[in-house]
Amino acid sequence: MVTCVPASEQISCADGEPQVYCPEDTGDTEAVRVTDCGSPEDSGRQNEPGSCNSEDSGQLMASYEGKARGYQVPPFGWRICLAHEFAEKRKPFQANNVSLSNLVKHFGMGLRYLKWWYRKTQVEKKTPFIDMFNSVPLRQIYGCPLGGIGGGTITRGWRGQFCRWQLNPGMYQHQTVIADQFTVCLRRDGRTVYQQVLSVERPSVLRSWNWGLCGHFAFYHALYPRAWTVYQLPGQGVTLTCRQVTPILPHDYQDSCLPVGVFVWDVENEGDEALDVSIMFSMRNGLGGEEDAPGGLWNEPFCLDRDGKTVRGLLLHHPSPPNPYTMAVAACCTADTTVTHITAFDPDSTGQQVWQDLLQDGQLDSPAGQSTPSQKGEGVAGAVCVSSKLPPRGRCCLEFALAWDMPRIMFGAKGQVHYRRYTRFFGSDGDAAPALSHYALCQYADWEKRISAWQSPVLDDRSLPAWYKSALFNELYFLADGGTVWLEVPEDSLPEELGGSMHQLRPILQDYGRFGYLEGQEYRMYNTYDVHFYASFALVMLWPKLELSLQYDMALATFKEDLTRRRYLMSGVVAPVKRRNVIPHDIGDPDDEPWLRVNAYLIHDTADWKDLNLKFVLQVYRDYYLTGDQGFLKDMWPVCLAVMESEMQFDKDQDGLIENGGYADQTYDGWVTTGPSAYCGGLWLAAVAVMVQMAVLCGAQDVQDKFSSILCRGREAYERLLWNGRYYNYDSSSQPQSRSIMSDQCAGQWFLRACGLGEGDTEVFPTLHVVRALRTIFELNVQAFAGGAMGAVNGMQPHGVPDRSSVQSDEVWVGVVYGLAATMIQEGLTWEGFRTAEGCYRTVWERLGLAFQTPEAYCQQRVFRSLAYMRPLSIWAMQLALQQQQQQQQKGGGQPPFTQSTGLSTEPECGPKLSPER
């Protein structure tokens, strides 16, 4: 007999018919009905209090037809209905997007790249550090990643799919694993009445499962490091709220490194009947790709009872070399819940065995013992189920943890074994997955309290717009999901000869470990320093010891050299990989052996770049200013002297101002700069000014006098050669683009103000000129570009047409825009700063569907470039600028903004005004 819900309660979804799910073989189950979903008559609750903030979500929630608000879902963050479809489908930047004139300019580089790419992929069988032929395709699906800093990450998309994986360090796999799902089962009076995979997918495998959840009755809300997915189950009077928690905890150097995530399911019964509710978490062992094909994968159940908490679940053992790991799918066992499991099933079959097992009684069979190791070409998956009773009008809580233990890693060269940071606390034997999951389920409530305490000052500040609150926290995803590694540093790996000059080198690296994150998920280089210049605000404000660790690594690399000669792709010139006393471009490629072999980047010889050395000096002083660590400053002083001495060779005419070399010799590596330039010249003057301040602190009068003299001459030359009355010219060449308005021209002033300098007695750039330039940038690069709705274009001609002289001048760089916005805030142009940054957020997160994969760049039309990029972390410079405003108001300025605090202000001096249309 099959009992179905009356027709009056049947609800259809979109263009589908009402579904009554009648399994082929119900076994002993008397009856079951599983609906799809559809649209209730009342769909107009979008402006109800506590529902969707229209300013924050707009069209992203326009298709949400449910009434459910979810359990304790916060008002601020990024919110999207699971039925939403992005209208705009952009493509990655490709060669055919280059103009004919620029194609001609880069023809030689293209040929050299093609030859190098062929050798790398076909001969060496390696993946290029930048693959121009195989860009990651557009997938508008990503959500908050799981996992702390440096232990690998797993991304669960906003529609519920597990879809992006970074378990092997720095190497990404972008694929949805169909078996990795949550399934709900509802039972009334001993009968299953509803069973549904909580996924909008309709896959070709596991076809016995009930797929095709209607997205119109569910929404996703992200406020990193937490996320909420709310499912209203039509016709059932039940709302599910899945809360995802990851331990990203500022100033915490223990729990923040753990490779874990927690899923807390709050189930609300809005009806007058009692229910039995079950949530099943199924997980494939591996991703179903080449790494799984040899077989030998196996699962086993486990139970860990410790400190009054019992955790049960499955261990998925994945012993494949070179980086074997074990994943734990676990659940909390309480007096009110029952935890059951199925050890192994075939994820490529129809899945009927698992489905019927759950359908029969809302639980799984829980066989004892481990599974047989998988055969070659076979897949294996397992599932854990938590069941509880739900009283009428009641709520219950079901808790899961996902943990993975890959303690020992080798990078692509397979040269040496490294130990992840978390092994300091959980051991390196590869048996920590049960303890990790148990710890996560014991600690997540405390993590949430700490996350709330950290975020509340910003979220509660009524002067800050909703989009900013979302952007500030959600952009932090990249600190964990930037291919990030956080490694232990063995005692014998540090050079003895630097012990005398760098007193804190060993304590910092040994106490806090070694940190690396990629330039971008597609630009595979660790700690790319010209870009870290922008992103580093997030690190120094939230985990300052990791910033100092990174700086010590850069200092070590600066004094080393690698005289191996190679051909650089842009110029064709053969030169050494790394020269002494210059800052490296990056610390290496995870597919090679980073830290041992630096400068994976081989497009330009960056020893001749004009910005890297300057950015080191500026960051050293900023890091000292924000941390108050005098020992760090003293350790870095000799390094700063060495790199500034190297930099002086670029002042050819001894006027106190360096010259660019007539090629793209800075972070804009496709935009030629000749002679004195606004960007590099400004960074130079700022670095010289900082050297004067450091010389005072270090008691070096001769150095102070030397750099004071350079600063005096350089300021005069900079103003004379570049200031035109409205802004600083791009450069001083005779090229047409020399009068372009560069959005990043005030980068030197930005850093000076972040260091508490740049005004009064420490003024370098005339304040009136800085403010005038920023107003010009806002007028032309922002307001005259794309209607003012897409941020600031890198280059704009004085008559209001984007500079298309290069492949980068007509792009918007999101991280540069956030830095520009911070500069505007510093100079009192607060409304302009927020308006500028808002264009980027709304373009990336709301229009282009690039949430949790913020790109380096996009153009006004058609393309984006380099998904999931480091530079947008610079939004934390906006927060620092706001905080400094507040401190200046309260204390009159002059003190470091914070030392080991949350790095957050509660009220800026002059809150951003809302846009006129709001």
884-896 pLDDT, tens digit each: 999 888 876 444 4
Reply yes or no: is the peptide bond before residue 465 cis, omega within 30 of 0. no
The Cα 918–Cα 906 span in angstroms is 23
Q: Is residue 398 within 8 Å of residue 186, measured between CB atoms? A: no
Termini Cα distance of the chain: 58
Span 348-374, average pLDDT: 97
Tokens of 461: 């500040």
Q: Which distant-in-sequence residues (6+ apart) come within 8 Å of 498 by Cβ?
A: 505, 556, 559
Residue (of 165, 161, 201) closest to 181 by Cα position: 161
Mean pLDDT of the chain: 91
| Tokens at 156, concatenated | 């669960």
DSSP category for residue 844: I
Residue 636 near residue 708 (C-beta atoms within 8 A): no
Q: Angle at CA 643, nearest 5°, toward 638 and 648?
A: 125
> How does pLDDT run across 834-843, given as a tens digit for each residue?
999 999 999 9
Q: What is the pLDDT of residue 500?
A: 65
Residue 52 in this model has a pLDDT that exceeds 60: no
> Measured between alpha carbons, how far is 524 from 677 in angstroms, rounded to an integer?
29
**Nearest alpha carbon to residue 706 among 694, 722, 720, 716:** 694
CA-only gyration radius of the chain, Å: 28
- Maximum distance among all alpha carbons in the chain? 95
pLDDT at residue 96, rounded to an integer: 64
- pLDDT for position 494: 80
Q: Note the pLDDT of residue 36.
A: 34
Mean pLDDT throughout 562-567?
97
Q: How far apart are CA 214 and CA 199, in angstroms?
A: 8
The HSE-up count of residue 537 (CA atoms within 13 Å, CB side) is: 27
Rounded mean pLDDT, 305-333: 96
Residue 858 has pLDDT above 50, yes or no: yes
Rounded to an integer, what is the distance from CA 613 to the centroid of its chain? 26
Residue 641 contacts residue 707 (beta carbons within 8 Å): no
**Cα 802-804-807 angle, rounded to 5 deg:** 125
Given a cut of 60, whether residue 436 has pLDDT beyond it is yes
Say what percent of the chain tops pLDDT 90: 86
739-755: per-residue pLDDT in tens?
A: 999 999 999 999 999 99
Contact of 890 with 882, CB cutoff 8 Å? no
Q: Please state, in angstroms and rounded to a whole number, the distance separating the CA atoms of residues 528 and 815.
A: 14
Q: Quick one: pLDDT at residue 421?
A: 98
Structure confidence at residue 39 (pLDDT)? 34
Give the pairing of strands 863-865 and 91-92.
parallel
Q: Across residues 515-532, what is the average pLDDT?
A: 98
Average pLDDT of span 277-289: 97
* Cα 86 from Cα 208, distance rounded (Å): 30
149-198 pLDDT, tens digit each = 999 999 999 999 999 999 999 999 999 999 999 999 999 999 999 999 99
Q: Look at residue 659 and tell me whether its pLDDT is greater than 90.
A: yes
What residue type is assigned to position 392 of the chain?
A: P
Task: Record the pTM.
Answer: 0.92
Tens-digit pLDDT profile for residues 672-697:
999 999 999 999 999 999 999 999 99
Q: What is the pLDDT of residues 780-811, one digit of tens each?
A: 999 999 999 999 999 999 999 999 999 999 99
Is the pLDDT reported for residue 2 higher than 60? no
Q: pLDDT at position 359, please?
A: 98
Q: Which residue has the higher pLDDT, 43 or 766?
A: 766
Cα→Cα distances 8→18, 235, 236, 328, Å: 11, 10, 13, 43
